[in-house]
Amino acid sequence: MKRNFDFEQEGIQVKKSCCYFCHQNCGVLAYVKDDKVLAIEGDPDFPTNTGGLCCRGNIALLHLDHPDRVNYPLRRVGKRGEGKWETISWDQALDEIAAKLGQIREEYGAEAVATAGGTQRTDDWARRRFMNLFGSPNGFHNSHLCWIPTFMIETAVCGWSPFEIDLSYSRCIVLWGQNPGASNMPEMHHLSELRQKGLKIITIDPRFTETAAKSDLWLPLRPGSDLALALAWLHVIIYEGLYDPVFVENYCEGFGELANHVEQYTPEWAEPLTWLSADLIRESARMYAMNKPGNIQWGVAMDQQGRASGAAIHARTLIRAITGNLDAPGSDLLTGPSLEFITDEEMEANEYLSEEQKAKQIGADKFKLLTWPGYSKIAEMSKKYWGKVPTAEWMCEAHPPSVFRAILSGDPYPVKALLVSATNPVNSYGESKLVLDALREVDFMVTCDYWMTPTAALSDYVLPIAGALERPTITSSYGCSDFLLASQRAIKPMYERRNDYNFWRDLGIRLGQKDMWPWETVEDAYLHKIEPLGYGSDSYDEFVEYWRFHFPERQYQKYLDKGGFGTPSGKIELYSSVLKDLGYSPLPEYVGPVENEIDHPELAEEYPLVLSTGNGFMPFHHSEHFQIPDVRFLNSEPYFQINPETAEEYGIEEGDWVWIETQRGRMKQKADVTQAVAPRVIITQRGWWFPERKMKEPDLAGCLESNTNVLTSTRDEDCCPLSGTWANRGLLCKIYKVDSTEQKEGN
């Protein structure tokens, strides 16, 4: 949007596009003339953002034609990471990549080709479709760190994940490890509105976040101790009689076992583990349980705790269940998959992947819930109850750290090719040094991205991808919601950029999948998806222009009509048969954070501080947007948070560069000395790399220098046994000031 912009000039079209810088996909109106976007603004009629845009949304035009964007297919010349490229045509690039993949499949089997994704910023049913048809089970994302463990555990217990929060009737919401004030603007808006009308907000977060500042109760727990808190809540709710006896009696199974199980987990037991007073634990549990209906909003915190993640998520699920806050007005709703439009899963062609190949999925033997063994079980259950199943892309994936290790070790078998799309694994996956080694080691790597990221710099081919305003978008919560929001592209992709859909399709066609890709464009595919809705649109764009979204009529308490829930027993399985069948504990067993002072006193002597990583902060998203000067200006350097008391102890002052070190390595950030965190707690910013620097080996734009994932742990024993999620939080670290002489160096 520019000053004195003439909205009514001749030839101008208003396109109903969306923001593409996180997966909210806020509605954007793009003013387009001659296939050029002249101005954008938030779409006031869009249901989520109602005209609002965050910092990122506002810079869409700066992103669109940024001088650093990758605009043409690039092929590496010279050594890997040397930064020398030649521009080639898409056809040539695809021909060569297809030939190479075919050759690898011939020599090592299809499973030797893996693909890495990031957050949901792609049409990843297409990626899955390609991989299934190609024959490899080894696709993966950061999904392990973001919602997917939650989704799968909740589905195991309740028959679906109750992720749809029905706020308008709610009296209390628990924001457990979620900070919508920095990550979900529309949600925060609704919370503020409702709070003024009396909604109680409980925020559980080690940090005094933007959201915590606007809450009725803030529980600053020790990072990684969510499981202890959840178990203590269960104890309070059950032993103070705050649960919903009618709901438990009629619709839950295993309450007796649960009550016996949590008897030991008193608030007093949790006090030293969570650093919260028993009184505060009781008060908060009562606030939630006694203000019905209420919600527990999902936040990534529990998905990022490694070993304890699964049990913590499980316990949180049970809190919701025993208070009867499920599928009732004002509570968390079990919508099930959409039966009205074609879901992502139905586009994935999962039936084409042979059982033999499924069995080869890396990590499936260790972490069963998010891989084929668990997914098949849940899919079968879901199919029977809902008629459709959750998306396999995201919910059923190879275990990323195990794939990176397989690249390095050849165990359990060689992984020779990595197709990277919409992610920069060096900065966004755990144990960055290991990831970087793997990326340097892998035989063949193709990266589809907007930018020359540290990962792209190590690739053999880098392909230019269409971004915000250049692509149509269907937003449907990883393909699992019963509603959808539709947006159109404002302009054709600039330069030689293409949709990632077309990358997978064109690659597939070259590898003998021609019959399986009938939709030439994304719009064609989308039209196919929405046709059953019956709006009668002739094209996808027409649907967007006339309808824009589809929300089905809300149905509460579907279990009454359906005769129960979508679990094997038809009840909420407090004592989970699904988890038991997979070989896991049917009840959440306490296990400490991955590294803690109680289980590992010797470690705590060397690394005395508690570390939490991975939380989102404005204006960046994951490892993105560091190259947009207007947002970078507001946040130009990485900062970690430290309490003044601890800072003083270590002689650290505001703005000092400080090394933060764990057993895995060290990285440096600047000190933000603040009361927002407890003494002994260190909270770092994620994602940092420095695109303004040279994108060459060995520094690769400082990709390890301030990268918090250098500190995280992905060892098998540190990962959650159910989901395989690794440990970003609840780690032990030490800190020391950066010597002025090493100020400019990398690690």
Contact residues for other proteins, defined by CB under 8 A: 1-5, 7, 41-42, 44, 49, 51-55, 57-59, 61-62, 66-68, 181-182, 185-186, 188-189, 192-193, 196, 208, 210-211, 213-214, 218, 220, 618-619, 626-627, 629-636, 643, 655, 674-679, 690-693
Q: Report d(CA 664, CA 726) in Å as an integer.
A: 13
| Choice between 53 and 238, CB closer to other proteins | 53
Strands 444-449 and 417-421: parallel
Strand-by-strand arrangement of the 294-297 sheet: 217-219, 200-204, 172-176, 294-297
Q: How far is the CB of 174 from other proteins (least distance, A)?
A: 17
- Amino acid identity, residue 428? S
Contact 692, 121 (CB under 8 A): no
Q: What are phi and psi of 360, to 5 degrees?
A: -85, 0
| Choice between 608 and 679, CB closer to other proteins | 679
Residues 6+ apart with CB under 8 A from 168: 194, 330
| Choice between 68 and 263, CB closer to other proteins | 68
| Choice between 61 and 604, CB closer to other proteins | 61
Nearest to 581 by CA among 568, 566, 564: 568
Which tokens in the block code for residue 353?
């992947």
Residues 6+ apart with CB under 8 A from 144: 303, 370, 397, 399, 400, 723, 724, 725, 726
| Choice between 388 and 670, CB closer to other proteins | 670
As beta bridge partners, residue 202 has 174, 217
Query: In whole angstroms, how large is the CA radius of gyration of the chain?
Result: 25
Torsion of CA 83, 85, 91, 94, to 10 degrees: -30
Say how many Å lie between the first and final Cα of the chain, rounded: 42
Q: How far is the CB of 688 from other proteins (least distance, A)?
A: 12
Q: How far is the CB of 653 from other proteins (least distance, A)?
A: 12
Residues 6+ apart with CB under 8 A from 622: 118, 119, 427, 428, 616, 686, 687
- By the 10 Å C-beta count (0-12 exposed, 13-18 middle, 19+ buried), 697 is classed as middle
Q: How far is the CB of 457 from other proteins (least distance, A)?
A: 16
Q: How far is the CB of 689 from other proteins (least distance, A)?
A: 12
Residue 156 Cα distances to 326, 335, 509, angstroms: 15, 15, 37
Q: How far is the CB of 188 from other proteins (least distance, A)?
A: 6
Distance of CA 728 to the CA centre of its chain: 13
Q: How far is the CB of 218 from other proteins (least distance, A)?
A: 7
Q: How far is the CB of 58 from other proteins (least distance, A)?
A: 4
CA angle 456, 461, 465 (to 5 degrees): 70
661: left (phi over 0), alpha (psi -120 to 50) or beta: beta
Q: How many other CB atoms are found less than 10 A from the CB of residue 591?
A: 20
Q: How far is the CB of 4 from other proteins (least distance, A)?
A: 5
| Choice between 188 and 227, CB closer to other proteins | 188
Distance of CA 250 to the CA centre of its chain: 35
| Choice between 388 and 693, CB closer to other proteins | 693
Q: How far is the CB of 42 from other proteins (least distance, A)?
A: 6
| Choice between 30 and 334, CB closer to other proteins | 30
Helix (H) or strand (E) run with residue 218 in it: strand 217-219
| Choice between 2 and 492, CB closer to other proteins | 2
Q: Report d(CA 42, CA 45) in Å as an integer.
A: 9
Which tokens in the block code for residue 295?
């919600």
**Any idea which residue has 């004030």 for tokens?**
181
Nearest to 316 by CA among 184, 170, 161: 161
Nearest to 184 by CA among 332, 45, 52, 335: 52
Q: Report d(CA 405, CA 184) in Å as an integer.
A: 34
| Choice between 58 and 481, CB closer to other proteins | 58
Strands 484-487 and 332-333: unpaired
Contact 387, 342 (CB under 8 A): no
| Choice between 85 and 626, CB closer to other proteins | 626
The residue count of the chain comes to 747
Q: How far is the CB of 380 from other proteins (least distance, A)?
A: 41
| Choice between 292 and 693, CB closer to other proteins | 693
Q: How far is the CB of 107 from other proteins (least distance, A)?
A: 42
Q: How far is the CB of 727 from other proteins (least distance, A)?
A: 24
| Choice between 188 and 491, CB closer to other proteins | 188
As beta bridge partners, residue 493 has none
| Choice between 61 and 259, CB closer to other proteins | 61
| Choice between 458 and 631, CB closer to other proteins | 631
Residue 431 Cα distances to 422, 591, 628, angstroms: 19, 22, 27
Q: How far is the CB of 248 from other proteins (least distance, A)?
A: 33
Q: How far is the CB of 472 from other proteins (least distance, A)?
A: 23
| Choice between 46 and 151, CB closer to other proteins | 46
Q: How far is the CB of 449 from other proteins (least distance, A)?
A: 17
